[in-house]
Structure formats: C-alpha cells, structure tokens
Amino acid sequence: MGEVDHSALYPEHGLTQSELMRSADVAMYEAKRTHSTICLYHSDSDDNSRDRLSLIGDLRAALDEDQLVLHFQFTQDFRSGRIQGLEALVRWNHPTRGLVFPDDFIPMAERVGLIMPLTRVVLRKALEELVRLDATGHRLTMSVNISHLDLLDETLPGYIETLLAHYDLQPQRLTLEVTESSLGEEPERARTRIEALRRLGVRISIDDFGVGYSSMSKLLELPIDELKIDKTFVFALENDVRARAVIGSTIELGRALNVTVVAEGIETFSNHQLLRSLGADVAQGYYIARPKCSEELDEYLAVMSTRP
C-alpha cells in the first residue's frame, strides 16, 4: 500500500490539537485495516478509545524496552512419551497492567503495523532460549507463531537466516506456525515466502488445521512439514463422532503427505489415549503441562527425564 492520507477536520472532529491528532490517528488505523489510501475520521469507526490508543503507545514502548516475555508449552512424542519440543507463547509484562495475554495485543499489533517487529522479538527470544536449554543438556525444537502479515514480509527469511547463524542453530530445530486461514490472504506471496523459508531448512506447520476451509489443492501445493489439529476438535473428541471423523481424516491426510500431525488442546488422559490410538504423532496441551516461563523449564524437564 502506498502513502496513506488520514485526516480529521476542525471543529467536527476535535477542538484542540491533541483531539484532532487523536482523531487523525483513528483514521490512520482504519485506513490500514481497510487497505485504503484515503480515510477521513468517522465516529462509527472509532473503536480506538483513549485507552486503546494509550495501549498502542505502550506497545511501541514495550518493543523498545524489552517488556515482552515468553512462556513455553511442551510438545510430547506420542510413541516414546518423551518431551520433544516447545512452542513459544508471547506475553506482555506491562508496567501497570501486569501480564497481558496475546489475544489482547496481537490483533492490535497487526492493525497498527507493529506485528513484524514484535514477531522478530519473539523469534530472537525463542532461539536464545533454545541455546540456553542446549547448555543445560536439554536439546529440543522450538515452534513460533507468525502472522499472515509476516508471510508477506520479504525480509523475514533473511532475518531468520541471520538469527540461526548468530546462534549456531540447525534450521530444522525451528518450526514456524501459520494458520490455515492466513494462507488465503495473498496466497501466491505467502507460498513464495514459505518456499524461501523451507529452502533455509526451517520447518513449516499449518496451525488450527480444520477450521480455515482452505482449498485442498492449494494445501497440496505447499511445502509443509506439519499439521496441527485445531483444539476445538480435540475438545469435542469424546462426545462428537464428527470431531473424531475429522481428526481421523486429518491423521490419514498427514500420513499421505508424509507430514507430522500434532494434536493440540489435550487436557485429559482419555483424550490423550484416544489420540494416541488414532495415530497422531505429537501431543500438546494442559495434560502434558501448562505453559511455563523460562525459569520453570529446567525443573520440569529434570523431573520428566527421570520418568520411565
């Protein structure tokens, strides 16, 4: 998108300079959301309250002041029962609001153009954690979620290549998770970026599989390594035969494509056993362990390593 003209008028949209600037900011965010080049402030689109605009400013500061932290959720190999990897989950340690979860700031970051620098912070911190765990004798893989906007960033593969070289990590230890629905937004550019990332050796996972209604022919064209069954199907597994059918079909599709199938959202022993019997490859969810901060990982991994 080219240069955006975002405007507010005196006195309709504000009587002071600060009020007019705020209204112009709202117009700018609306222009980005609708991919418009010209946008005039309108109260109907003003979902950016003073509090929200303040939070946007706080998020910019958070990126500069290292306020983002990672928690990690374990993935477990169904066959061996061993912990094989981690998924990085970003949190915002806000100075006054406390710990802010991603649903409360990731959509905002996407809307105001902060998602790409945020993703780069998460990638850097995730790989730093891999290096730290390596030094303690725990060699794991790491998964990181990326936005559909990250898939459109032509500089992302180069940035990841530089990070991997800096930390001396094998690229196959990093998995990038993209949602199934995000592949429908500018699919050719997304495919080009996925192919560039795969050439680096980085693994690609389709997250929330089963809810994005993507074209199967398009999916077959993508060089992917992993399918993650959406947790809504896992939650319904024991009480809904349709959910079980979707999961069984996804596992068969994974076998046909020679890709790993991950079941996320496992919270009970019975679900864990059912998914294991159906042939899923990797388990993830509260039944394995709740997400943990870096300081808690070593203790948990030490306990898990002593189990038979």
Residue 20 pLDDT more than 80? Answer: no
pLDDT of residue 2: 45
3.20.20.450, 2.40.30.160, 3.40.1180.10, 2.60.120.260: which CATH number matches 67-305?
3.20.20.450
pLDDT of residue 222: 84
In angstroms, the CA 270 to CA 268 distance is 5
Q: What phi-psi label fits residue 77: left (phi over 0), alpha (psi between -120 and 50 degrees) or beta?
A: beta
Residue 85 pLDDT more than 90? Answer: yes
In angstroms, the CA 284 to CA 30 distance is 37
Q: Structure pTM?
A: 0.83
Q: Report domain extents, the chain.
A: 5-48, 67-305
pLDDT tens per residue across span 202-246 = 999 999 887 765 556 677 778 999 999 999 999 999 899 999 999
Residue 72 pLDDT more than 60? Answer: yes
Residue 184 pLDDT more than 80? Answer: no
pLDDT category, 175, cuts 50, 70, 90? very high
Other Cβ atoms within 10 Å of 225 Cβ, number: 17
pLDDT of residue 187: 81
pLDDT tens per residue across span 134-174 = 999 999 999 999 999 998 899 999 999 999 999 999 999 99
pLDDT category, 183, cuts 50, 70, 90? confident
Higher-confidence residue of 155 and 13: namely 155
In angstroms, the CA 177 to CA 102 distance is 15
pLDDT tens per residue across span 99-145 = 999 999 999 899 888 999 999 999 999 999 999 999 999 999 999 99
In angstroms, the CA 230 to CA 179 distance is 10
Omega of the bond leading into 11 within 30 degrees of 0 (cis): yes
Residue 306 pLDDT more than 70? Answer: no
Identify the CA nearest to 207 among candidates 249, 246, 175.
Answer: 175
Helix (H) / strand (E) containing 190: helix 187-200
pLDDT of residue 1: 41
